[in-house]
Structure 1
Amino acid sequence: MVQERPKRVERRLSAILAADVAGYSRLMHNDEEATHVELTALVTDAVVPAIVEHGGRIVKNTGDGFLAEFTSSVEAVRAAVQFQTRIKQLTINEDEERRIAFRVGINVGDVIVEPHDIFGDGVNIAARLEGIADPGGICISSSAYDQVWGKIEVDFADLGDQNLKNIARPVRAYAVARDKFGSTAKGSRTTPILPRAPRLSMVVLPFANIGGNPEQDYFVDGVTESLTTDLSRIRGLFVIGRHTAFSYKGKSIDLKQIGRELDVLYVLEGSVQRSANQLRVNVQFVDAESGAHLWADRFDKPICDLFELQDEIVSRLANALNAQLIAAEARRSEHSLHPSALDLYFQGMARWNKGVTPAHMAQARSFFERALELDPDNVEALVGIGAVDVTRAGFFLADNPDALFAAAEAALNKAMSLAPQHALAHAFLGSVLLCTKRAIEGIAECEHALELNPNLAEAHAFIGCAQAFSGRAEETEAHVHKAMRLSPRDEGTYRWMTWVGFSKLLLGADAEAVVWFRRGLNSNPNNPIAHLDLAAALAHLGKLDEARASRNKALALNPTLTIRRLKGIPFSDDPTFREQGRRVIQGMRLAGVPEE
């Protein structure tokens, strides 16, 4: 007898809204029929229209309340605000003892779906949050808050981590601010609650002029002001204006206090010291909530043209800080019980930065996909998808490069339709174009990205790579040097150095190619194609044992690398590139790279 396969449990990610009537038993005891009639009328006149209008559905009624499900946390909160406001209007003239008021909890979670009910921790958390809301109030989890913040005209108060009954881990909770419904949450009448600082928010404090030479003040202040301006260009980063920041100049203030006063998560402070013909800049990046130092660095530069020097220092700091912000937010996100789209984006970027192996790229794409499930129009996740797909194709990590290039182009075009000025989206679209026999268009796209963000080092590196595909491999190195000058500690330098090595290999400068490949691999060894290109260069130099060792490292990281796969992406029809590319394949054959 054939055993039936178990029925698959249906699950989906939902925004769950749980509501009940505060003091329902008391109201029913005092006047059972009147309470029932009024509750029915309020649900019919206020609750149901709001839920339907915002795309939700009432899953079930619970006697004194109901459970509703939405596909969007933004719409769930909007619906709750709408019906809570309407109920307050309808009951405002009633005695407080007889007034019906709902408490509402909202959470985002993965739920088990049955025809007339939903189950799971996501539902339980919503119900527990409803229990800590005041009558007439709305309380939401951090997973919902991170998605709605900045998207609806409602202020929230941070209730901190809450230990909810029968929920193993604390849940960070937020309540609609007091002025919206007259209350926030239990206990809030006596304890003022400060709102949590927005994600990706910081202040650049005025840099200190070490030595006190007043003639140096203009330069030090210029570094602070320019850095504030350049950091403001980072999409999604909220930076306190320079006039406010300069009100702290010369004052000794606790950084956690500054974080609370300005409502920011991060603080950047630094100093500038001049001695003879040398300039030293020290910087510290601090978590304003904990006071922990997340990153510190020092820049020593010879003094030449002060304004040119200021631009270089500022661009390097802006690029380095962008990477540090991603790393810091990825660490925060790892501890999130219910990650938001933003949490998942940062975790995806953290995997992307680990290296171009099949595993890392698959993990990064998975995080970006999950972010898009929560927010289909998340621009950063779309750019992440595009970056992963063009990299998987361009670094020979998959059997279907044409499909991946097409998918990358579609994701990046969608991102730019939502955010036309997104510099990194333009740069990665340029990389797609240069990998698909459209190098000239790719260079133009990267140049446009640099018009939008002159500090975008990646765009310079892409232009360098495009020169190799255009038969001008001798020009690659200069463009990569521009990228590395802007962002010498960039997570992407290992890729950029590989492209210089590749250009040297095309030109027959095998010894120089070996130096560049090894520099890139010292920066990040998780780059199988760099190991393979290094093997080709070593083979041309007659160092066959070293070449085979490098080939083995490449195949350990990506066992699918073969001559056939490498020849499967033409990249360019330029005759010079095609001729130069033959010696690369020849070197790989000498190193023993398998044909199939």
Structure 2
Amino acid sequence: MAKKLNISLFGSCVVRVDGADGVEVKGAKHRALFALLATAPLGRRTRSYLQRTLWGSSCYDGGRQNLRRALSDLRSLLGEDFDYFIKCTNSDVELDLSLINFLGAPGTGAFMEGIGIRDRGFEEWVASMRADDSQIAALYRTTPRTELGRPLPRITALPFQRVMGGENLRVLGDWLAEEVCRSLSRSNLLSVISHLSSRALATRTTDTLDVRRELDVDYFVTGSIRDMGGRLVVDMDFVDARDGNIMWTRQIAGPEAKFWDEITTGLDGVVRAIGRTIADEAIAYVNDRPVPELEDHHLVIGGVSLMHRPTFRDFAKSRTLLEEAVSRAPMVAETHAWLAKWYVLSVFNGWTTDRNGDTQKALDASSRALDINPDSSFSLVIDGFAHNNLMQRMDVASQRYDTAIDINPNESLSWLLRGALLAFQDEGVDAIAAAEQARNLSPIDPFGYYYDSLSSTAYLAAANYGRALELADRSLAFNDRHLSTLRAKITALHFLDRGEEARVAAGELLRRAPAFNLDTYKNAHPVAKAALGQKVIAALEAAGIS
């Protein structure tokens, strides 16, 4: 992986080489030198400009010696990396901007805050940049925009208003909003504003423009609750805060005595509907517009949703969207993790034309995500996913999943992939428990087929072939291109003594992946040598795959 130089210009100025062994530039004038180069056209400044700006114009020879000394100090500090990042001539100094990661973003602090350099030329330069920071905003994103967006759509639930009934319904309405927010917050695809913030706003107004302006959300849930003679009725609206459009309405109703049973099931359906609606809206939005015109949060959720659609065209477009999201927000760990998952799926499902190259890209992307945020539970999960499926390093995967669950016990994907890993280790009962926990924690994900697919594997490991087939069929009904699901179906059918159906499914697998064969599976799949893998191999062979 090519080294990058991380530079933060807003707030405290930071300059460091990425990676665990990367050095950090500490000297104020050394950091200022990098800042001047990083903001220059083509990354190039003349020596005389650097001398004048950093050391003043009163003594030309002194400034020249100071610049020479500063460059020498940086060469000693960076070693071989100096010539990798910086090119010097007798007249110019140039920084390779293609090797730069800009940390942070405009608005996270003052430009070059607290750098402590008092030379007049430098102070004038900083003042001019602060007066118009749009001139360096382009460094932070590939697509010019009027303002920085956010990588995930933001959503909240307003307390449900009591219309008819006792004061206890006001408390119930507040609890409903809290439960919706809590369920939504389990998704890696949404940024959820606490219901406490929405409660404070709801006491004053529920006007759409006020909600958008004060909470800065893209979507919100609102509604009412009333007592109709012992029958409780909850009406909900899911609203697009950008234009006030009601995207759908739902009603949950039932006798007061049984209302808690009704509301539990009803809220689960509501949060699932929210996930599907946002994903479907994002797909429609990105399909109608060129990439440079897309809002940041549409890039991520659109890319993730397309990644899990059944057509290869959608899968390919997903990478374009995620790469754009990474380039716009290079310091958001989860976006790199989603891109890593794209490469894992591409390799693992046999869709890549460069297995080795895409394997390395997956590992690079997940590593980059953890460099940015070592405590990101989702990034840990994806790094484990990459090591398990591409490198057959179950030990690394197990450690990543356990750490992710320790950090966030509600990380559904951690439980799902832990379940798959336990299945690979022939721990069928524990695999099912983990998979079911994942399904309980993930009511919102718009790619439920993936949960069904890996849950099917867990049931195979426990020799529950009927349930494994049921889940595989349900998964394939949404995405029939997922090879591992087809293998699970063939295996379940074989051990249910439904050989003819297994051969039909095997023909479908070969139609989807003509190059697939048993040697490929034995050499590449992490479960091939386990008891479950031997079952799969026997089933595939009996179904006519050689």
Q: Same fold (TM over 0.5)?
A: yes
Matched, 1:392 2:350: no
Secondary structure of 1:368's aligned partner? helix
For the 8 Å contact 1:232–1:238, the answer to whether it is kept is yes
Matched, 1:477 2:429: no
For the 8 Å contact 1:390–1:405, the answer to whether it is kept is yes
Secondary structure of 2:221's aligned partner? strand
- Structure 1 residues 423 and 503, CA gap change in structure 2 (3 angstroms): closer
Matched, 1:588 2:543: no
Q: 1:206: Cα distance to partner?
A: 0.7
Higher relative contact order (CA 8 A, sep 6+): 2
Counterpart residue number, 1:531: 486
Q: 1:74: Cα distance to partner?
A: 9.5
Once the two structures are superposed, the pairs formed by residues 446-465 of structure 1 within 5 Å of their partners are 446-465=401-420
Q: 1:340: Cα distance to partner?
A: 6.6
AA partner of residue 56 (structure 1):
A
Counterpart residue number, 2:452: 497
Counterpart residue number, 2:199: 246
Instruction: Provide the rounded CA distance (Å) in 2 between the counterparts of 1:217 and 1:76.
Output: 41
Match 2:307 to one of 352, 355, 360: 352
Identity %, equivalent residues: 19
- CA-based RMSD of the aligned residues comes to 4.9
Instruction: Provide the rounded CA distance (Å) in 1 between the counterparts of 2:148 and 2:388.
Output: 38
Match 1:510 to one of 444, 461, 465: 465
- Structure 1 residues 88 and 359, CA gap change in structure 2 (3 angstroms): closer
Counterpart residue number, 1:217: 170
Secondary structure of 1:559's aligned partner? coil
For the 8 Å contact 1:143–1:340, the answer to whether it is kept is no
Structure 2 gaps, min length 5: 1-32, 44-95, 113-120
- Structure 1 residues 570 and 73, CA gap change in structure 2 (3 angstroms): closer
Once the two structures are superposed, the pairs formed by residues 291-370 of structure 1 within 5 Å of their partners are 291-296=244-249, 321=274, 324-334=277-287, 335=289, 337-339=292-294, 343-355=298-310, 360-370=314-324
Residues 30-61 of structure 1, C-alpha deviation per residue, up to 9 Å, x if partnerless?
A: xxxxxxxxxxxxxxxxxxx99955433189xx
Counterpart residue number, 2:243: 290
Once the two structures are superposed, the pairs formed by residues 144-163 of structure 1 within 5 Å of their partners are 144-145=144-145, 148=148
AA partner of residue 144 (structure 1):
P
Instruction: Provide the rounded CA distance (Å) in 2 between the counterparts of 1:454 and 1:499.
Output: 19
- Structure 1 residues 102 and 528, CA gap change in structure 2 (3 angstroms): closer
Matched, 1:467 2:422: yes
Counterpart residue number, 1:55: 39
AA partner of residue 307 (structure 2):
W
Secondary structure of 1:568's aligned partner? helix
Paired residues, number: 445
Matched, 1:408 2:328: no
- Structure 1 residues 588 and 234, CA gap change in structure 2 (3 angstroms): closer
AA partner of residue 583 (structure 1):
K
Instruction: Provide the rounded CA distance (Å) in 2 between the counterparts of 1:419 and 1:364.
Output: 23
Q: 1:468: Cα distance to partner?
A: 0.7
For the 8 Å contact 1:57–1:70, the answer to whether it is kept is no
Instruction: Provide the rounded CA distance (Å) in 2 between the counterparts of 1:87 and 1:522.
Output: 61
Structure 1 gaps, min length 5: 1-48, 60-68, 91-100, 110-139, 151-197
Instruction: Provide the rounded CA distance (Å) in 1 between the counterparts of 2:162 and 2:515.
Output: 55
Residues 461-503 of structure 1, C-alpha deviation per residue, up to 9 Å, x if partnerless?
A: 1121111112212332232222222334533322222233334
Q: 1:440: Cα distance to partner?
A: 5.5
- Structure 1 residues 290 and 89, CA gap change in structure 2 (3 angstroms): closer
AA partner of residue 504 (structure 2):
A
Q: 1:254: Cα distance to partner?
A: 3.7
Instruction: Provide the rounded CA distance (Å) in 2 between the counterparts of 1:347 and 1:395.
Output: 21
Residues 376-431 of structure 1, C-alpha deviation per residue, up to 9 Å, x if partnerless?
A: 44423310122123333444545876765554343223212212332211222232
Matched, 1:380 2:334: yes
Structure (1 or 2) with the greater strand fraction: 1
Instruction: Provide the rounded CA distance (Å) in 2 between the counterparts of 1:588 and 1:238.
Output: 43
For the 8 Å contact 1:535–1:551, the answer to whether it is kept is yes
Q: 1:433: Cα distance to partner?
A: 4.4
- Structure 1 residues 377 and 243, CA gap change in structure 2 (3 angstroms): closer
Instruction: Provide the rounded CA distance (Å) in 2 between the counterparts of 1:281 and 1:542.
Output: 49
- Structure 1 residues 280 and 564, CA gap change in structure 2 (3 angstroms): farther
Instruction: Provide the rounded CA distance (Å) in 2 between the counterparts of 1:482 and 1:104.
Output: 47
- Structure 1 residues 480 and 371, CA gap change in structure 2 (3 angstroms): same
Instruction: Provide the rounded CA distance (Å) in 2 between the counterparts of 1:400 and 1:338.
Output: 30
Q: 1:147: Cα distance to partner?
A: 7.1
For the 8 Å contact 1:458–1:492, the answer to whether it is kept is no
Structure (1 or 2) with the greater helix fraction: 2
Residues 506-565 of structure 1, C-alpha deviation per residue, up to 9 Å, x if partnerless?
A: 454433332221122234334233223323332444434422332233233333322222
